[in-house]
Amino acid sequence: MSALLLDGKALAKKTEEELSARVKALKERGGSTPILATILVGDDPASATYVKMKGNACERVGMESIRVEMPSSTTTEELLNKIQELNDNPNVHGILLQHPVPEQIDERACFDAIELSKDVDGVTCLGFGRMAMGEEAYGCATPKGIMRLLEGFDIELQGKHAVVVGRSPILGKPMAMMLLNANATVTICHSRTQNLDSHIRQADIIVGAVGKPEFIKAEWIKDGAVVIDAGYHPGGVGDIELGPLKDRVAAYTPVPGGVGPMTINTLIYQSVDSGEKKTA
């Protein structure tokens, strides 16, 4: 069996071309250029790299970005004030608060302070609740990116048994709800699930989102499954032992180049959508 490579990098590039055309059309209609505001608190080098990558993605499609940098000593109140300032700015169409923030900050309070219409990263409790109920809201960027990847490669979800390994509020939980809304039958597992391998063996679609390198073993995954690896760790490995699977599964995401590019692409996609809605 030759497995289908779910190439997120290629799909993201194709989508960027489409988004560039949408941004150009928006400007020609007299609308304002979509603007994504990114907030980076502290000096974590990985977070700084991610924010830079998101700014570069904005530039590639003709968007603009506002980069807000705040010191490690920032308080919850100071961050809330900055978020409110961006909420009140009519020229800002999307707000991204880079995770994680320094430990003295109430991250959840700050996420939830983001206005729903500007929550293009899908991190608010209100946005999650609306998404789970099938109401209009921007989906959390990584799971929404996975859903767009599955759709882009015509992976059938209806009636399939999907197993999500991971329960984080910005990945595992919203991933499960999105798959459920797409009419999959969903099992949610995590690092403490008993007999984890027996659950995974039943999966038509497996999503690795547990945050531990190669935690999910290849021998647990049945032939013909669709394998989505949302992890990335030093050495270029994900949460799933992918090597032995490439000749016996139906489709899989490479690490890197699968889920990662679609996460950033979804953030930009939803920012452009927000800009269009403000002009409509």
Summarised one tens digit per residue, pLDDT across range 33-91 is: 999 999 999 999 999 999 999 999 999 999 999 999 999 999 999 999 999 999 999 99
Q: How far are the Cα atoms of 13, 74, 77, 151, 211 from residue 80, in angstroms, in the given order?
A: 34, 10, 5, 36, 29
d(CA 103, CA 116): 24
User: Is 217 a known active-site residue?
Assistant: no
Domains by residue range for the chain, with CATH: 31-120 (3.40.50.10860), 141-259 (3.40.50.720)
Catalytic residue among 7, 98, 173, 239: 98
Q: Two tokens at 76? A: 């919850």
Catalytic residue among 7, 82, 118, 121: 121
d(CA 132, CA 217): 30
Catalytic residue among 54, 82, 144, 160: 54
Beta strands in the chain (DSSP E): 4-5, 35-41, 64-70, 94-97, 161-165, 185-189, 205-208, 226-229, 251-252
Residue 280 has what pLDDT?
Answer: 67
Q: What are phi and psi of 161, to 5 degrees?
A: -95, 110
User: Is 24 a known active-site residue?
Assistant: no
Residue 1 has what pLDDT?
Answer: 63
Residue 31 has what pLDDT?
Answer: 79
Q: How far is CA 274 from the centre of its chain?
A: 17
pTM: 0.95
pLDDT tens digits, 224-241: 999 999 999 999 999 999
User: Is 158 a known active-site residue?
Assistant: no
pLDDT tens digits, 170-223: 999 999 999 999 999 999 999 999 999 999 999 999 999 999 999 999 999 999
